[in-house]
Amino acid sequence: MPSNGLSFILLAGLILGVVFLLQWVWRRPLSKGATLDEIPEPGESVVTAKSLMIPEEATLFNLIKLVAQDHLLVLGKLPILHVISVADQDEEARKALMRTIQPVRLDVVLVHPGTLQTKTVVKFRKNGQEVQRPEKRDQVVDTVLKAAGITVIVLHLNQTYSVEHLTALLGFAEDE
């Protein structure tokens, strides 16, 4: 009987040792040599420049920059995770939220030059996108931005905006 108890303890120790060894191997970062071997040969890849915005977005961006550059920093096409951070005691809920919003890029971000805090996000709505049925991800993004104290303004790409109208929309209109 004593040898059965001893062999059981040795077997359990061996299994735990193998489990810890496998976790160590899987969690260990790859060496630089291992990652460099996976890069394709330069002749196999074709790299081209990609347009950051469509012409309608660029026109609105330039108009926003004209209106806001004296008051705020104007940045374009930032990932949402550069603008907000998410903390939650429920780690699974936080991860689910992060997976939902991670691919989102904000069209225009207006940042206070002193505090470097985001004040306003301007979203461009394309011609086919109507307000009737917003996408679930858009609703989550709007909720997250609102919770962070960031104002969201939607501009339509098919609409023409004057400097005065855009100044009022962005909240820079001077009281007379």
pLDDT for res 176: 45
Q: How many angstroms separate the CA atoms of 153 and 109, rounded? A: 10
Q: What H or E segment, with its residue span, contains residue 121?
A: strand 118-125
Q: How many angstroms separate the CA atoms of 32 and 35, rounded? A: 5
Query: For the segment 134-156, what is each residue's pLDDT rounded down to a tens digit?
Result: 688 889 999 999 999 999 999 99
Q: How many angstroms separate the CA atoms of 154 and 61, rounded? A: 13
Residue 149 in contact with residue 115, Cβ under 8 Å? Answer: no
Q: Which residues make Cβ contacts (< 8 Å) with residue 124, sequence separation at least 6?
A: 56, 57, 60, 107, 108, 154, 155, 156, 157
pLDDT for res 31: 60
Q: Which residues of the chain have pLDDT under 70?
A: 1-3, 28-42, 127-134, 175-176
Q: How many angstroms separate the CA atoms of 16 and 63, rounded? A: 64
Residue 44 in contact with residue 84, Cβ under 8 Å? Answer: no
Q: How many angstroms separate the CA atoms of 158 and 142, rounded? A: 22
pLDDT for res 45: 74
CA distances from 51 to 41, 55, 79, 149 (A): 25, 9, 16, 31
pLDDT for res 133: 56
Beta strand pairing call for 151-156 and 105-111? unpaired
